[in-house]
Amino acid sequence: MHLRDGLQTHATVRQRYDHLVDTGAVERDPAQEHIAAALDRLTDEISVKRLAQKSSALGWLFARKRETREVVKGLYIHGGVGRGKTMLMDLFFELLPVRRKRRVHFNDFMADVQDRIQKHRQALKNGDAKEDDPIPPVALQLAEQAWVLCFDEFSVTDIADAMILSRLFSALFANGVVLVATSNVAPENLYRDGLNRQLFLPFISILERHAHVLTLDADKDYRLEKLARTPVYVTPADAEADRMLDEAWQAMTRGAPVGETTVAVKGRQVVVPAAAGDTARFSFADLCEKPLGARDFLAIAGRFSTIFIDHVPVLGEGRRNEAKRFILLIDTLYDHHTRLVVSAAAPPPALYAAKRGNEVFEFERTASRLIEMQSRDWLEDWAERQKDKHSQDAAEPRAASQAP
């Protein structure tokens, strides 16, 4: 605990950031320090609001001292890939002394919203709900569950999402929700060239009224720089390989909180054992010894830009199903130009030991792709694609059968 601006609080984002610098986990960057300071100021404002909401005399004393209003303006942090946006937001989320908080990928949040809207419509049809407009009750449900929302990779590509964002976030902000978001694009470039964008434009004004917009323009893509110095295909898959992948994982996640998450696939949830921002880590068994298929791998590749896979074994005649899944997985990650870090029992050409069957020929392609995905050219091309990703997505919005 320490004292800042007369308000005693927990450890700060800046303190945690300094510790990461001191231990060599990250390289000090003035632009990142600026964002850390803004996140700490927001933490103070949220803490004061939390105290003011309590009936204790101490809470009202703090509220009067800081002359704080109920409305707290959040943060929208945008900048290029690999600049540390997610790391800083995750530090903020971990340290924030609020129970009702939620940290979620923006696309997953909107999928949850659309599910809730459909459930409300069904309840209305069954006579179990009265409001014709599903947005207000859905926003109230969300606000009651979490009044601080942290979004990673805020982007809008779905027309159904675009058409409801103004009303949804107006209702969320009216219910006292505070927003913290990271994005690769500035607010004015969200849903750029999207269908019926004029109907989306009011959301940009609403967002800018309720969140300070900050740019994180660090000079380097730190993730690419560190990963370029780290082997991305390690063999054999022994204890030394585990250590090397752990080091690469630390370089990629850069001290951000890591936890299990899920990816929604057609009403099912695919478990991701370890995730931090747009980086995920699986074992071979997680992906290829379970009944996963093309839709699952597509969803994973769409959600994460970097995938770690531990302990890929040599596959023989008795593991044709696992080999088929691995072939499909690598094809999917290759097509999505996903960055891949692997520990394996053998070099790519020796991973498939069977001598017959279609998989023998298919695995030749897989081995070739695994080799290509290790190259510096692949990593540099990945970085360039990431820079353009959101603007390209915005220019090709997905159609929807119905927008609420």
CATH number at 47 reads: 3.40.50.300
Q: Looking at the predicted structure, is the pLDDT value of residue 61 above 60?
A: no
Last residue of a domain, one of 215, 247, 266: 215
Residue in this structure with the two tokens 């057609």, named with its chain if needed: 266
Q: Is residue 92 part of a domain?
A: yes
User: Does one domain contain both 163 and 309?
Assistant: no
Q: How far apart are CA 283 and CA 292, in angstroms?
A: 14
Q: Where are the alpha helices (DSSP H) in 154-238?
A: 159-174, 201-210, 222-228
- Dump pLDDT digits (tens) for 204-254: 999 999 999 999 875 555 555 555 566 788 999 899 999 999 988 887 887
Is 103 within the bounds of a domain?
A: yes
pLDDT band at 66 (very low <50, low <70, confident <90, very high): very low
Which of 215, 246, 274 corresponds to the end of one domain?
215
Same domain, 6 and 86: yes
User: Using CA atoms, how far apart are residues 262 and 271, in angstroms rounded to an integer?
Assistant: 4
Burial call 306-329: b when 16+ CB within 10 Å, e when fewer: bbbbbbbbebeeebeebbbbbbbb
pLDDT at 8: 43
Range with the poorest average pLDDT among 170-174, 200-204, 351-355: 351-355
Query: What are the tokens at 96?
Result: 């924030």
Residue 238 has a pLDDT of 92
Number of domains present in the structure of the chain: 2
Whether 194 and 253 share a structural domain: no
Q: Do 38 and 165 lie in a common domain? A: yes
User: Is 272 part of a structural domain of the chain?
Assistant: yes
Q: 56 falls in which pLDDT band (50, 70, 90)?
A: very low
DSSP 126: T
Residues 85, 139 within the same domain:
yes
What pTM did the predictor assign?
0.60
381 domain residue, yes or no: no
Indicate if 178 and 259 belong to the same structural domain: no
CATH of residue 345: 3.40.50
Domain that holds residue 326: 233-373
Query: Which of 183, 215, 247 marks a domain boundary?
Result: 215
Is the confidence at residue 376, as pLDDT, over 70?
Answer: yes
For the residues 126-135, what does the mean pLDDT come to?
Answer: 84
Judge contact between 100 and 146, C-beta under 8 A: yes
Which tops the pLDDT comparison, 139 or 29? 139
Handedness of CA 201, 207, 213, 219 (dihedral sign): negative
Note whether 289 and 196 are same-domain residues.
Answer: no
- Whether 395 is in a domain gets the answer no
Of residues 228 and 278, more confidence is placed in 278
Are 146 and 267 within one domain? no
Whether residue 209 lies inside any domain: the answer is yes
Q: What is the pLDDT of residue 394?
A: 40
88 and 209 assigned to the same domain: yes
Mean pLDDT lowest among 107-116, 141-150, 300-309, 358-367: 358-367
In a shared domain, residues 83 and 118? yes
In a domain, 221, yes or no: no
Task: Tell whether 207 and 238 lie within a shared domain.
Answer: no
316 & 349 share domain: yes
Residue 380 maps to a domain? no
